[in-house]
Structure 1
Amino acid sequence: MAPILEIRNLYKSFGSVDVLKNINVSIDPGDFVVLVGPSGCGKSTLLNCIAGLEPITRGTIEIAGEDMTDVPARDRDIAMVFQSYALYPTMSVAQNITFGMRVRGIDRETREKKLAEVARLLKIEPLLDRRPKQLSGGQRQRVAMGRALVREPKLFLFDEPLSNLDAKLRVEMRAEIRRLHQRLSTTIVYVTHDQIEAMTLATKIAVMKAGEVHQIGKPKEIYERPVNMFVADFIGSPSMNLFPARATRVDGHTRLEVSRSGGAPLVLKDPRQFDLPSQVVVGLRPEDIAEANLRSGPFVQTGTCRIDFIEQSGSDTYVLTKLGGVDVFGRFHTETHVEEGMEIDFAFDLAKVLFFHPETEVLLN
């Protein structure tokens, strides 16, 4: 299957500042690719380069096998949904959705047919005669999506489309967008700074930082095998625990020694042998640190830790302790009785452990 979008060696500079550096991304038809990263990492700039709204400094952009590097935005066969919705305030919903088709000279019968299909799909039939100011934020976003959908382009581009909505509506719209993608098998490139949005929507995630793509892959792959400490820390809520340890090989296993405030070091023994430097950063997700009485197995190690802070989240209780001088979260069952200041046996599931180099921050195992 030939890629629908191929970006090769793309650079974008503003003056002497490179805001995008050697971007290489390949997207297959039907993919839902989410560009995610902190504010200022270049994800919206990359989207604008794909759309043709920003010229690139060097590199190539191909859409459906055709070189679009220097092709104007109007000729790229893409549709874009913006954070601000960008609706015409004096036009009705129906006029907003069909405006682009009217400009391109598409006949009235076809316009009305497309409008009816999209309105039914997005459940906005009762809104077609209203003006944008009469709509809620979620309704405006549906209209903006409808305007893109009637185009039937090769590529849909979404630039933080849900960031203006409240938390409950964001969840609802995420589900709506996911259902639309599954039903229509459209190809989407979607920008967000919200990593939960990325995990729930994407077939592939591209994690960006400072103008570079650090990792691209399936959500599960990114979550379980982050290539470096930045990706490990950025993806997941709460994020992966990262704490320093001293590593040695003893009698066929790997011994990890982690400092604890006010007590002897915590010692964890992994039955596997790893070729590690003496100082490492240990990565464990909160769900891999739990109550000792609820976990068992050859990779589970226990140790007594002091609970410094408790955070209730309904179905789970997150407990915080300090290891190696940094805060470490474990995920306990909500029925487990814990109090701040208690010392309790924690279970560490080393089957899921990752090791990172403390200086280069890259994954070692």
Structure 2
Amino acid sequence: MAPILEIKNLYKNYGPVEILKDINIAIEPGDFLVLVGPSGCGKSTLLNCIAGLEPITGGDLMIGGKNMTDVSPKDRDIAMVFQSYALYPTMSVAKNITFGMKVRGVDQATQTRKLNEVASQLQIEQLLNRRPGQLSGGQRQRVAMGRALVRDPKLFLFDEPLSNLDAKLRVEMRSEIKKLHQTLGATMVYVTHDQIEAMTLATKIVVLKGGVIQQIGSPAEIYNKPANLFVADFMGSPAMNLIPAKARAGGAGAQIEIARGIGEPLVLVDKHAPALPEDVILGLRPEDIAEAGFRAGADVQDATCLVDMVEPAGADTYVVSELGGKQVTARLHAETVATPGEMLNLSIDMSKVSYFAPDSGQRLN
């Protein structure tokens, strides 16, 4: 199957400043690609390059197998949903949704049919005669999506569409967008700085930092096997614990030694560790540290830690200890009994450990 969007060696400069550097991405029809990264990493610029709102400095950009580098936005067969909704304030919802079709000379019967289809899909039938000023943020967002949906384009582009909504509404709209993607089988490119949004929506995630792609992969790959320290720290909430450690080749695998706040260092044995340098950073997700005895398995090892802080969070209890001079968070059961200043027996799932080189930050396993 030919990629519906293919970006090859794309560069974007503003004068002497490089904003995007050597971007290579390909997505198949039906993919949901999420561009994620901190503010200023270039993700909205990349979306604008795909839309044709920004010219590219170098490289190629193909949509549906055709080179779009010099094609104007209106001829790219895309529909875009902006953060600001960009609705016409003086027009009714119905007119906002059908306006693009009217401009393109689509006949009235088709306009009406598409309007009704989209209105029922987004559950906004009762809003069609209102104006944008009479709508809530969530309703405006639905109208902006409706305007994109009637286009039936090759590619939907979303630029942080939920960032103006409150937390509860964001979660609801996220589900709506996911459902839309599943029912339409449409191809979507979506920009967000919210890594939870990225994890829940995407079939494929691109993590950007400073205009450079750090990693491309499925949500599971990005979460379980981050390519470097930046991705490990950025994706996941709470973030992955990144603990300085010493590695020594042992009889079977490696011995990993981690300084503890008090007493002897913690020594863990990893039978499956690759050849490691002496200084490593051990990455461990909070949920891979459990109460001792809670998780069975050949790769589970016990660790006794001094509790610094306990944070009840409804379904979970977060327990913070010091390991390797860093604050390390364990995600434990709500019923966990832990007291600051006391020791707690924990177990670590060594099959889930990531190793990183301290100097380059690159993944080692």
Query: Same fold judged by TM-score > 0.5?
Result: yes
> Deviations for 1:198-218, whole angstroms, at most 9, x for unmatched residues?
000001001110001111111
Letter of the 2:18 partner, please give it: D
Which deviates more from structure 2 when the two are superposed, residues 158-167 or residues 339-348? 339-348
**Secondary structure at the residue paired with 2:293?**
helix
**Secondary structure at the residue paired with 2:322?**
strand
1:281 and 2:281 matched:
yes
CA deviation after TM superposition for structure 1 residue 273, in Å: 4.7
Cα distance in 2, alignment partners of residues 96 and 300 from structure 1: 58
* 2:346 matched residue in structure 1: 346
* 1:151 matched residue in structure 2: 151
* 1:193 matched residue in structure 2: 193
Letter of the 1:10 partner, please give it: L
* 2:47 matched residue in structure 1: 47
What pairs up with 1:89-238 in 2 under 5 angstroms?
Answer: 89-238=89-238
* 1:76 matched residue in structure 2: 76
CA deviation after TM superposition for structure 1 residue 45, in Å: 0.2
CA contact (8 A) 1:252 1:273 kept: no
1:324 and 2:297 matched:
no
What pairs up with 1:6-17 in 2 under 5 angstroms?
Answer: 6-17=6-17
Structure 1: tracts of 5 or more residues without a match: none
Cα distance in 2, alignment partners of residues 25 and 331 from structure 1: 35
Which deviates more from structure 2 when the two are superposed, residues 25-34 or residues 338-347? 338-347
- Runs of 4+, deviation exceeding 6 Å: none
**Secondary structure at the residue paired with 1:30?**
coil
Letter of the 2:63 partner, please give it: I
Cα distance in 2, alignment partners of residues 284 and 234 from structure 1: 14
Identity %: 65
CA contact (8 A) 2:261 2:306 kept: no
- State how many pairs are aligned: 365
Which deviates more from structure 2 when the two are superposed, residues 252-261 or residues 15-24? 252-261
CA deviation after TM superposition for structure 1 residue 169, in Å: 0.3
Cα distance in 2, alignment partners of residues 221 and 333 from structure 1: 25
CA deviation after TM superposition for structure 1 residue 331, in Å: 1.0
What pairs up with 1:291-306 in 2 under 5 angstroms?
Answer: 291-306=291-306
**Secondary structure at the residue paired with 2:336?**
coil
Which deviates more from structure 2 when the two are superposed, residues 230-239 or residues 184-193? 230-239
Which deviates more from structure 2 when the two are superposed, residues 338-347 or residues 116-125? 338-347
> Deviations for 1:128-163, whole angstroms, at most 9, x for unmatched residues?
000001101100000000000000111000000000
Cα distance in 1, alignment partners of residues 150 and 275 from structure 2: 56
* 1:259 matched residue in structure 2: 259
> Deviations for 1:141-200, whole angstroms, at most 9, x for unmatched residues?
000000000001110000000000000000100100011110000000000000000000
TM-score normalized with structure 1 length: 0.99
What pairs up with 1:58-69 in 2 under 5 angstroms?
Answer: 58-69=58-69
Which deviates more from structure 2 when the two are superposed, residues 334-343 or residues 237-246? 334-343
* 1:360 matched residue in structure 2: 360
Which deviates more from structure 2 when the two are superposed, residues 338-347 or residues 177-186? 338-347
Letter of the 2:314 partner, please give it: G
Letter of the 1:357 partner, please give it: A
> Deviations for 1:220-270, whole angstroms, at most 9, x for unmatched residues?
111111111111111111111111100001222311111112322111112
CA deviation after TM superposition for structure 1 residue 345, in Å: 1.1
Which deviates more from structure 2 when the two are superposed, residues 305-314 or residues 171-180? 305-314
**Secondary structure at the residue paired with 2:318?**
strand
CA contact (8 A) 2:274 2:364 kept: no
Cα distance in 1, alignment partners of residues 99 and 307 from structure 2: 60
**Secondary structure at the residue paired with 1:237?**
coil
Cα distance in 2, alignment partners of residues 337 and 311 from structure 1: 11
> Deviations for 1:253-312, whole angstroms, at most 9, x for unmatched residues?
311111112322111112235200000000111111111121232211112111111222
C-alpha distance 304-274 of structure 1, shift in aligned 2 (>3 A) = same
* 2:245 matched residue in structure 1: 245
C-alpha distance 100-292 of structure 1, shift in aligned 2 (>3 A) = same
C-alpha distance 304-35 of structure 1, shift in aligned 2 (>3 A) = same
**Secondary structure at the residue paired with 1:293?**
coil
Letter of the 2:354 partner, please give it: L
Cα distance in 1, alignment partners of residues 273 and 131 from structure 2: 66
**Secondary structure at the residue paired with 1:248?**
strand
Cα distance in 1, alignment partners of residues 251 and 30 from structure 2: 51
Letter of the 2:261 partner, please give it: S
CA deviation after TM superposition for structure 1 residue 334, in Å: 0.7
CA contact (8 A) 1:249 1:273 kept: no
Structure 2: tracts of 5 or more residues without a match: none
Cα distance in 1, alignment partners of residues 336 and 67 from structure 2: 59
What pairs up with 1:310-321 in 2 under 5 angstroms?
Answer: 310-321=310-321
CA contact (8 A) 1:271 1:298 kept: no
Which deviates more from structure 2 when the two are superposed, residues 235-244 or residues 272-281? 272-281
CA contact (8 A) 2:34 2:206 kept: yes
CA contact (8 A) 1:322 1:328 kept: yes
